């Protein structure tokens, strides 16, 4: 990271201030990198190594209006799910996309990574819950992207974008390459008072866990919370017995679930404790050394769920080859994410943490990352389904390029550069 | 270096009072830790290095970041160490702290006043109401079971006299064998600790420890959580129990005459009491025993800690003003148990009472 290449940092509060910041960058020929809460792990909000201007959404955190009847809330991009839900609570309404980083992650950032929570399985990802997004483009024009079309006061631009079929799907996972989101209309729904109970299912191996997930997906299981612990280092294992599945589901679903998997019912306290253990796994360190999210998560879906064991073994073999010690593997299951062609994938988002070897060079770390990407491609695993690995997603990148031909370039270009890998390796 | 353990999850950001007031990443704990992680680049740019040193003192040292961190990063320790390093590397940038250091070196209090005056202002004010008070002051009083360590704020500030009155009256009503250190009390060393001046703080501690030992005290009580943190954590007393006044009275009193409440109360946890000294239950227990109804406030800083009132008074005020607006403080009386929080609340035109002020009302009522 060369600080000298960051030519300006802006913290706008209004659309106009965003336009001014973008104009400042444009007049000087700098790229613009939007940044939200910074909790994501795609690396896109670093802006790579170009001369660039950073525009943060951290001071655009107002909830602008709420329509309980029509089920939406208009918010600025820097609001977090927690902040939105505090305001919605008295109305007994909720914004249902709540990742574990919901206290920090901004909704603008979450749309740009198409983030979801551990309950994306039932509540969808950001694109499923964003009705529209207002975006400032590099040339200063404003567009409103909706679920099926685009609106703009510039009729030619509106027509051009609609002719290429731009929708909210294109903004989702675009990693700041299209523009700066200044406002979002998000879907909200009533808080449902439902009696939920907890359960813990333990498995012989990860394939058995995967088969259970397949059946849950096929039967559209109404599980509200599902977290799989596939592996945990002794330093953080505690009472965990991986592979296991922590579940929370409607009480009247218990007998149906028993037809899918054996499980032990949990008391509310046991469930809360296990949720807390899971929540803190990404943040805890080993007794010796430091943990690292070398490659944040892996998406196993479809037939891949039958081969989690083999997939994880391959990943671990590769990690060990490069000197990393596997530290923990856990994740949302069942879950949902979208592939580059906007098709939904259902499976497990398996997070991974490693112990960083001492003295490893940046080049070696990056080599390991690239080999993991190759391994994912060969094995039909989605690389980083939650936090995204946009750099090798040809389908998505081609689509972004198509839209940028209409709206212009200038936003976070490094993500789409052919030499992106070189840039990324320099940032390790 | 525990800052390397930071995984930049950002949990410390939104709960940081400085980030809340400033809204820019570099003011957040995560931002500062990031700068530490790339210190080679920071130090290669003199302006950036200067900016970083300034940022270290734009911190209330409230410890909430340490509290929320799941990655075992001891942020408070890091801030202490880095502050010491900053002053050592660029003393000229911290000349404004020189007066404080000089005061503590020469007259052993933060106000630069004569050490003899430590037991003058409040004695003048309270002597008529509490006739034997002068005899309670060391060295006229030579020994006692309980020694009261007042601290600089309570010894010199007129705004604290109501708390002192309540404290001494409560001790008198409960017939506690106590003495006050008076002019022989030096600053506890907390401000120097916050500046990373371990050697200076040690000198003050050595003197205080010697005097306190002479009194034969079994218990040492203080109303100031800053002093408490020093006395508990850095003095290494043997045979002397160090207590906050809320702990002392909560242990002493099993039941208390109910408080006749006529106003709306909120309770603010002093950061050093709650997070650093881990005193959480006793203030609430006392309020419960008195039957006081109150609204809990966010576990957030008043803005008065970490020398922030000296290093950036506008920021310090802004933190309190944001809280006051958000938590609707102007319509309530904020109960607290810290002289620094009291100063901060009063300075922002908010009503406040120390728990001991409520207690003395109950005790006086019971006494008739």
Taking contacts as CB-CB distances below 8 angstroms, the residues of chain A near B23 are 11, 58-59
Distance from A112 to chain B by nearest Cα, in Å?
Answer: 18
B101, part of any domain: no
Residue A101 to residue B71, Cβ atoms within 8 A: no
Q: What is the pLDDT of residue B1?
A: 61
Residue B172 sits in the same domain as residue B229: yes
Cα-based distances in Å from B156 to A44, B85, B117, B122, B161 = 55, 31, 8, 8, 9
Report the predicted TM-score, pTM, of the whole model to 2 decimal places: 0.87
Give yes or no: residues B177 and B227 share one domain: yes
- Domain hosting B299: range is 265-362
B154 and B223 Cβ atoms separated by less than 8 Å? yes
Q: Kindly report, residue by residue over A130-185, the tens digit of the pLDDT.
A: 999 999 999 999 999 999 999 999 999 999 999 999 999 999 999 999 999 999 99
At A217, list the tokens: 């997906």
Are B182 and B248 members of one domain? yes
In angstroms, the CA A249 to CA A225 distance is 7
Which residue of B11, B48, B71 is in closest CB contact with A103?
A: B11
Same domain, B117 and B191: yes
Cβ of B70 within 8 Å of Cβ of A290? The answer is: no
Residue A422 CB-half CA count within 13 A: 5
Based on the fold, state whether residues B13 and B128 are members of the same structural domain. Answer: no
User: Of A291 and A210, which is predicted with more confidence?
Assistant: A210
- Chain B: which residues have CB within 8 Å of chain A? 4-5, 7-11, 13-14, 23-25, 30, 38, 41, 45, 48, 69-72
State the pLDDT at residue A428: 67
Q: How many Cα atoms within 13 Å fall on the side-chain side of residue B93? A: 19
Which of B23, B64, B75 should one mutate to test binding to chain A, selecting the residue with the greatest count of A CBs within 10 A? Answer: B23
Q: Note whether A104 contacts B24, CB cutoff 8 Å.
A: no
Interface contact A104, partner B, CB < 8 A: yes
What are the φ/ψ torsions at residue A363 (nearest 5 degrees)? -60, -40
Is it the case that residue A121 has pLDDT exceeding 80?
yes
Average pLDDT over residues A386-404: 90
- Residue B161 domain-assigned? yes
Are the C-beta atoms of residues B358 and B173 closer than 8 Å to each other? no
Integer-rounded Cα Rg, in Å, for chain B is 21
Q: What is the pLDDT of residue A422?
A: 79
pLDDT surpasses 90 at A293 = no
Mean pLDDT of A105-111: 97
Contact yes or no for B5 and A39 at CB 8 A:
no
Instruction: Indicate whether B116 and B49 sit together in one domain.
Output: no
Does residue B221 lie in a domain region?
yes
Hey, are the CB atoms on B24 and A38 less than 8 Å from each other? no
Residue of A nearest to B21 (CA): A59
Q: Is the dihedral of CA A92, A98, A102, A107 positive or negative?
A: negative
Host H or E run for residue B87: helix B75-89
Residues B131 and B227 in one domain: yes
Is a pLDDT exceeding 90 seen at residue A100? no
* Spatial separation of the C-alpha atoms in residues A223 and A295, rounded to whole Å: 27
User: Residue B69: which of B124, B97, B32 has the closest Cα?
Assistant: B32
- State how far residue A284 is from chain B, nearest Cα, in angstroms: 5
DSSP tally for chain B: helices H, then strands E: 20, 8
- pLDDT of A280 strictly over 90: no
Question: Chain A interface, mutation test: which of B3, B10, B36, most A Cβ atoms within 10 Å?
Answer: B10
Contacts (Cβ under 8 Å, ≥6 apart) of B188: B149, B151, B204, B205, B208, B224, B226, B227, B230, B231
**Chain A neighbors of B6, CB-CB under 8 A:** none
- In terms of domains, do B55 and B122 share one? no
Task: Evaluate whether A299 touches A349 at the Cβ level (below 8 Å).
Answer: yes
Of the candidates B252, B278, B306, which is a domain's last residue?
Answer: B252
pLDDT of residue A195: 93
Domain count, chain B: 3
Residues B182 and B120 in one domain: yes
Which residues numbered 61-90 in A keep a CB inside 8 Å of some CB on B?
80
The confidence score (pLDDT) of residue A43 equals 83
Predicted local confidence at residue A291, as pLDDT: 86
Residue B257 falls inside a structural domain:
no
Chain B residue at shortest CA distance from A284: B71
Return d(Cα A142, Cα A139) in angstroms, integer.
9
Distance CA(B113)–CA(B104), nearest Å, equals: 10
Residue B218 lies in a domain: yes
Confidence of residue A3 (pLDDT cuts 50, 70, 90): confident
Which segments in chain B show pLDDT lower than 70? 1
CA distances from A233 to A229, A230, A349, A353 (A): 11, 11, 19, 10
Q: Please tell me the distance from the alpha carbon of residue A199 to that of residue A257, in angstroms, as a whole number.
A: 10
Is the Cβ of A24 closer than 8 Å to some Cβ of chain B? Answer: no
* 3-state secondary structure (DSSP) of residue B324: helix
Q: Contact B7/A103, CB-based, under 8 Å?
A: no
Asked if B128 and B200 sit in the same domain, the reply is yes
In a domain, B259, yes or no: no
Clarify whether residues B160 and B65 are in a common domain.
Answer: no
> Is B103 contained in some domain?
no
The two structure tokens encoding residue A49: 């190594």
Q: Enumerate the H helices of B218-349 as residue ranges.
A: 225-233, 245-252, 271, 281-289, 308-311, 313-326, 339-347
Contact at CB, B9 and A283, closer than 8 angstroms: yes
Which position has the token pair 């005056």?
Answer: B117
Residue A268's pLDDT is 96
- The share of chain A scoring above pLDDT 90, in percent, equals 79
Give me the half-sphere count of Cα atoms (radius 13 Å) on the Cβ side of residue B206: 6
Nearest-angstrom CA–CA distance, A366 and A417: 17
CB atoms within 10 A of CB A173: 28
All domains of chain A in start order, with CATH: 1-193+392-428 (3.30.465.10), 196-388 (3.40.462.10)
Task: Examine residue B86 and state whether it is found in any structural domain, yes or no.
Answer: yes
Search chain B and give the residue with CA nearest A277: B70
The nearest alpha carbon in chain B to A10 belongs to B24
Verify whether the Cβ–Cβ distance B71 to A3 is below 8 Å.
no
Last residue of a domain, one of B252, B278, B298: B252
For A273-287, what is the mean pLDDT? 86
**CATH code of the domain containing B156:** 3.40.50
Distance CA A184, CA B362 (A): 55
Question: Mind telling me how many Å the CA of B54 is from chain A's nearest CA?
Answer: 19
Q: At what angle do helices B198-214 and B98-106 cross, to 10 degrees?
A: 30
Q: How far apart (Å, rounded) are the C-alpha atoms in residues A256 and A246?
A: 16
Bigger pLDDT: A100 or A80? A80
> Could you tell me if B128 and B90 lie in one domain?
no
Q: Are A227 and A322 in contact (CB under 8 A)?
A: no
Distance CA A18, CA B362 (A): 58
Which of the listed residues B66, B94, B122 is the one where a domain comes to its end?
B94
d(CA A148, CA B56): 49
DSSP state of A37: S
What's the token pair of residue A113?
């990574």
């Amino acid at each position: 990271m060369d600080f000298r290449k960051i030519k300006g940092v802006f913290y706008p509060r209004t659309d106009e201030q965003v336009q001014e910041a973008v104009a400042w960058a444009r007049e000087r020929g700098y790229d613009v990198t939007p940044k939200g809460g910074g909790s994501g792990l795609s690396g896109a909000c670093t802006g790579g190594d170009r001369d660039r201007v950073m525009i943060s959404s951290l001071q655009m955190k107002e909830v602008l209006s709420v329509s309980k009847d029509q089920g939406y809330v208009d918010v600025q991009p820097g609001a977090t799910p927690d902040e939105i839900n505090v305001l919605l609570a008295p109305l007994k309404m909720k914004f249902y996309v709540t990742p574990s980083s919901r206290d920090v992650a901004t909704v603008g950032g979450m749309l740009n990574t198409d983030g979801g929570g551990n309950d994306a399985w039932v509540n969808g990802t950001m694109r499923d819950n964003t009705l529209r997004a207002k975006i400032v483009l590099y040339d200063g024009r404003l567009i409103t992207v909706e679920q099926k079309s685009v609106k703009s006061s510039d009729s030619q631009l509106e027509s051009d974008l609609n002719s290429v079929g731009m929708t909210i799907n294109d903004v989702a996972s675009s990693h700041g390459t299209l523009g700066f989101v200044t406002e979002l209309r998000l879907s909200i729904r009533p808080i449902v008072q439902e009696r939920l109970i907890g359960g813990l299912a333990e498995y012989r191996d990860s394939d058995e866990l995967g088969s259970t997930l397949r059946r849950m997906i096929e039967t559209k299981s109404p599980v509200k919370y599902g977290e799989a612990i596939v592996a945990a280092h002794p330093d953080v294992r505690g009472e965990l017995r991986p592979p296991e599945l922590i579940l929370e589901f409607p009480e009247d679903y218990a007998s149906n679930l028993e037809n899918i998997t054996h499980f032990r019912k949990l008391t509310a306290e046991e469930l809360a404790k296990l949720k807390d253990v899971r929540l803190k796994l990404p943040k805890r360190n080993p007794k010796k050394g430091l943990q690292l999210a070398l490659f944040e998560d892996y998406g196993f879906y479809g037939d891949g769920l039958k081969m989690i064991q083999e997939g994880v073994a391959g990943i671990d073999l590769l990690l060990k080859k490069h000197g990393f010690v596997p530290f923990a593997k856990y994740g949302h299951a069942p879950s949902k994410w979208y592939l580059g062609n906007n098709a939904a994938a259902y499976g497990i988002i398996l997070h991974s943490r490693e112990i960083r070897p001492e003295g490893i060079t940046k080049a070696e770390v990056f080599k390991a990352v690239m080999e993991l990407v190759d391994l994912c491609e060969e094995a039909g695993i989605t690389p980083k389904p939650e936090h995204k690995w946009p750099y090798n997603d040809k389908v998505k990148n081609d689509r972004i390029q198509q839209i940028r031909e209409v709206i212009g370039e200038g936003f976070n270009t490094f993500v789409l550069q052919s030499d992106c890998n070189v840039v990324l390796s320099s940032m390790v | 270096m525990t800052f390397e353990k930071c995984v930049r999850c950002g949990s410390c950001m939104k709960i940081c009072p400085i980030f809340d007031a400033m809204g820019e990443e570099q003011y957040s704990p995560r931002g500062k830790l990031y700068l530490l992680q790339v210190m080679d680049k920071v130090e290669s740019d003199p302006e950036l290095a200067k900016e970083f040193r300034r940022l270290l003192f734009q911190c209330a040292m409230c410890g909430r970041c340490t509290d929320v961190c799941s990655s075992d990063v001891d942020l408070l320790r890091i801030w202490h160490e880095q502050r010491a390093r900053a002053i050592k590397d660029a003393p000229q940038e911290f000349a404004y702290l020189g007066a404080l250091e000089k005061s503590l070196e020469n007259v052993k209090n933060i106000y630069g006043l004569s050490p003899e005056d430590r037991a003058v202002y409040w004695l003048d004010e309270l002597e008529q109401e509490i006739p034997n008070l002068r005899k309670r002051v060391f060295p006229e009083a030579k020994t006692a079971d309980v020694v009261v360590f007042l601290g600089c704020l309570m010894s010199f500030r007129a705004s604290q006299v109501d708390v002192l009155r309540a404290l001494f009256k409560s001790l008198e009503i409960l017939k506690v064998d106590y003495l006050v250190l008076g002019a022989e009390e030096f600053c506890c060393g907390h401000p120097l600790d916050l500046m990373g001046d371990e050697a200076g703080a040690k000198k003050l501690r050595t003197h205080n420890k010697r005097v306190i030992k002479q009194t034969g005290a079994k218990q040492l009580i203080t109303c100031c959580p800053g002093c408490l943190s020093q006395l508990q954590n850095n003095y290494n007393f043997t045979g002397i129990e160090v207590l906050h006044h809320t702990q002392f009275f909560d242990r002493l009193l099993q039941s208390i005459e109910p408080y006749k409440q006529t106003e709306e109360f909120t309770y603010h946890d002093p950061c050093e009491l709650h997070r650093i000294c881990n005193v959480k239950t006793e203030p609430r227990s006392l309020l419960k025993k008195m039957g006081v109804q109150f609204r809990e406030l966010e576990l957030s800083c008043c803005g008065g800690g970490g020398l922030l009132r000296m290093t950036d008074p506008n920021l310090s005020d802004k933190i309190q003003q944001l809280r006051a607006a958000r938590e609707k403080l102007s319509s309530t009386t904020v109960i607290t148990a810290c002289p620094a929080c009291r100063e901060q609340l009063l300075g922002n035109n908010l009503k406040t009472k120390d728990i001991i002020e409520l207690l003395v009302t109950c005790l006086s009522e019971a006494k008739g």
